[in-house]
Amino acid sequence: MAAPAGIYLDASATTPPAAAVVAEMAEVQAQAWANPSSLHGYGLAAAEVLERARWRCAAVLGCSPAELVFTSGGTEAIHLALRGHGATLAPGRLLISAVEHPATLAAAKQLAQQGWQVKQLPVDRCGLLDLQALEQALEPPTRLVSLIWGQSEVGTLQHLDSIGARCRQAGVPLHVDAVQVVGHRPVNFAELPVDLLSLAAHKLQGPRGIGALLVRRGLALAPLLAGGGQEGGLRAGTEPVVLAVGLARALELRQQGEAANLHGLRDTLLMALLGLDGVHLSGPDPRCQPGERLPHHLSVLVADRAGCPLHGRALVRELWREGYAVSSGSACSSTGTAASAVLLAMGFSEAEAGSGLRLTVGPWLRAADLTGVAPALERARQRLAATP
């Protein structure tokens, strides 16, 4: 079935695969389809392609190939980081922020069931971590910190250098969920003050079903999946060679500037939307805080002309009727109907926290694609306001 026609503005949920990614994956599928653990010629050819893909990914990400573990995506990478490292330690305290992705919350819950304490650190109105609270909480029994670097709902970029420096001084390992960051900002693992970093290919026009965890040399991890020695003994199962190549190609395209100047598209759209009464920015303002927001990310709260917040999920449906694919909240918790936990943690009321819209752009868009978004939102608002 062909995809429905429309303008896709939901890059933080997933991205359409780049043509160059699809083409290289098809070529590899035809030539390196064998099990890379097999010792015959077919298997050896697949193993070589897999390791070349690892080296290609490592070259873009600034890490050693030995520090890169392929996973099935961001969720598995996050779980391997938290539960995998946690399994090597005596139970202690895990620090997370109040605006984490559901995958991190789920991994933290599992650690809590194993005797760990989990402490959520507060954020401000823009979603930025309270650094003083972090510093105070880094004393024993804290053994691990996990923070989302680029917040998926509101686009906030945490001050990673300041956070990492505090964790290093306290001797506490730091994992960062960089799923929304990789491909949109340069990442050099060798220079970052972090010990574990998770990413996913489908956020940067790569294939779904693959991600990676970067692991600092010397950091102990226990595997979540047993049964084989793949990925340095950290992830049993036949390696997805084709998907690894897709991730490598997607990273290279972004390094070559495929996603350059997305902030310009985003900012033009922002100005158009803020021209509507009742539409307000959530998260850092890129006009005065450009380094504190993902460059492709825009999130707003929407009210009617009388100032009453409108239901974000209803707006998503109405905008799709207009031909625009947007989001409300995290795509990984899209079955819920409650107000956004992220916006509540940032200090918004329950009504406001249910009125959020997220619009995220990508290199498949041009300025002309965005000119109708604000008028479409206005029509959507009028329809919802007229609904009893």
pLDDT at 338 over 80: no
| Structure confidence at residue 31 (pLDDT) | 93
pLDDT at 17 over 90: yes
Residue 116: name the closest of 135, 90, 81 by CA: 90
pLDDT-wise least confident of 9-18, 257-266, 326-335: 326-335
Average pLDDT over residues 181-202: 97
Pair type for strands 211-215 and 196-200:
antiparallel
pLDDT at 308 over 90: yes
Average pLDDT over residues 24-40: 95
For the stretch 231-253, pLDDT in tens is 999 999 999 999 999 999 999 99
| Structure confidence at residue 268 (pLDDT) | 95
pLDDT at 1 over 50: no
C-alpha to C-alpha distance for 19 and 263, rounded to whole angstroms: 22
**How far is residue 364 from each of residues 201, 204, 360, 367, measured CA to CA in Å?**
16, 11, 12, 10
| Structure confidence at residue 386 (pLDDT) | 80
| Structure confidence at residue 219 (pLDDT) | 97
pLDDT at 388 over 70: no
C-alpha to C-alpha distance for 206 and 193, rounded to whole angstroms: 26
pLDDT at 336 over 70: no
Q: Tell me the pLDDT band of 334, cut-offs 50, 70 and 90.
A: very low
| Structure confidence at residue 261 (pLDDT) | 86
Active site residues: 332
pLDDT at 65 over 60: yes
pLDDT at 56 over 50: yes
Q: Tell me the pLDDT band of 4, cut-offs 50, 70 and 90.
A: low
Supply the pTM of this predicted model. Answer: 0.95
Q: Regarding predicted confidence, which is higher, 329 or 75?
A: 75
For the stretch 138-147, pLDDT in tens is 999 999 999 9
pLDDT at 335 over 70: no
| Structure confidence at residue 171 (pLDDT) | 97
Average model confidence (pLDDT) across the chain: 94
Q: Tell me the pLDDT band of 2, cut-offs 50, 70 and 90.
A: low
For the stretch 265-297, pLDDT in tens is 999 999 999 999 999 999 999 998 889 999 999
| Structure confidence at residue 354 (pLDDT) | 96
pLDDT at 329 over 80: no
Domains and CATH numbers, the chain: 7-15+259-386 (3.90.1150.10), 19-255 (3.40.640.10)
C-alpha to C-alpha distance for 195 and 176, rounded to whole angstroms: 8
C-alpha to C-alpha distance for 139 and 366, rounded to whole angstroms: 49
Average pLDDT over residues 190-217: 98
Q: Tell me the pLDDT band of 365, cut-offs 50, 70 and 90.
A: very high
Q: Within 13 A of 74's CA, how many CA atoms are on the CB side?
A: 26
